[in-house]
């Protein structure tokens, strides 16, 4: 939790500078709360875990380019399977995007997810290519989005194993009032990653509060 508060503090500290540069850049900052379900398979056993993850996000947006960062941490508890050890979770991403069309943004960059399992750690690092499509449902008040991604390289463990994966994210964003810059987002995400002898699927239902137009 201290890391999460630190990331939030850094994000808040740069807002004045971002505000002074608002003639050149737009920015968004947000808080996220997720409920995750993790299906983890280490051959020949399989385990199911679930629990909450809290996070922060931010983006800098120009006419064509966007930089997006997200960070979260939480705790998942075993629900099914032979493993009865809870896991601490830390996850994050740092992406650079190009707005190819008004409704389409193409992204590239790393995403990471790490577990602390007793005295051991398991770290996934995946480099992804992504595409996000957006649609306006009510101008200035409500919009939808879908994001698809695939891995072009990745690793897990130490010594590292070659890893891959794919996933999608979709949801609805609603402005809280006509005169406010605050938006809410409800989204569902599924990610599947794999390596030799390992496979993991993470489902997340996330509620976010965002300052600035979501990107």
CATH code of residue 98: 2.40.128.100
Residue 2 has a pLDDT of 54
Residues with Cβ within 8 Å of residue 183, at least 6 apart in sequence: 173, 174, 175, 176, 209, 210, 211, 212, 213, 214
The answer to whether position 21 is within a domain reads no
Instruction: Determine the structural domain holding residue 184 and report its residue range.
Output: 2-16+29-211
Could you give the number of structural domains in the chain?
1
Own/partner long-range contacts of 103-107 (Cβ < 8 Å, ≥24 apart) = 103/133, 103/134, 103/135, 104/131, 104/132, 104/133, 104/134, 105/66, 105/131, 105/132, 105/134, 105/215, 106/130, 106/131, 107/68, 107/131, 107/132, 107/149
In a domain, 184, yes or no: yes
Whether 134 is covered by a domain: the verdict is yes
Q: Residues of 29-63 as b/e, b for ≥16 C-beta within 10 angstroms?
A: bbebebebbbbbbeeeeebbbebebebbbbbbbee
- pTM score, two decimals? 0.86
**pLDDT tens, 167-181?**
999 999 999 998 899
Q: Is residue 72 part of a domain?
A: yes
Tell me the per-residue pLDDT of 117-130, one tens digit each, with 9 for 90 and over: 877 888 999 999 99
Q: In this structure, is residue 55 part of a structural domain? A: yes
Euclidean distance between CA atoms 73 and 184, whole angstroms:
20
Q: What is the pLDDT of residues 177-194, one digit of tens each?
A: 988 999 999 999 999 999
Per-residue pLDDT of the chain (215 residues; tens, 9 = 90+): 555 445 445 544 544 454 444 457 899 999 999 999 999 988 888 899 999 999 999 999 998 999 999 999 999 999 877 777 889 999 999 999 999 999 999 999 999 999 988 778 889 999 999 999 999 999 999 999 999 999 999 999 888 899 999 999 999 999 999 889 999 999 999 999 999 999 999 999 999 999 998 76
């Amino acid at each position: 939790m201290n890391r999460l508060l630190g990331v939030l503090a850094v994000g808040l500290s740069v807002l004045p500078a971002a505000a002074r540069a608002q003639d050149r850049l737009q920015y968004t900052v947000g808080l996220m709360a997720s409920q995750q379900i993790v299906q983890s398979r280490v051959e020949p056993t399989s385990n199911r875990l679930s629990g909450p993850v809290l996070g922060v996000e931010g983006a800098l947006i120009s006419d064509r380019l966007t930089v997006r960062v997200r960070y979260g941490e939480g705790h998942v508890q075993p629900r099914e399977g032979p493993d009865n050890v809870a896991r601490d979770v830390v996850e994050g991403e740092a992406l650079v995007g190009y707005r190819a069309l008004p409704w389409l943004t193409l992204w590239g960059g790393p995403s990471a997810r790490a577990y602390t399992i007793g005295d051991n750690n398991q770290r996934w690092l995946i480099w992804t290519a992504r595409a996000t499509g957006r649609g306006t449902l009510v101008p200035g008040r409500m919009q939808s989005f879908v994001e698809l991604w695939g891995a072009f390289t990745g690793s897990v463990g130490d010594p590292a194993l070659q890893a891959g994966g794919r996933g999608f994210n979709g949801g609805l964003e609603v402005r809280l009032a006509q005169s406010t810059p605050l938006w809410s987002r409800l989204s569902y995400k599924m990610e599947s990653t794999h390596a030799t002898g390992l496979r993991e699927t993470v489902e997340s239902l996330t509620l976010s509060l965002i300052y600035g137009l979501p990107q």
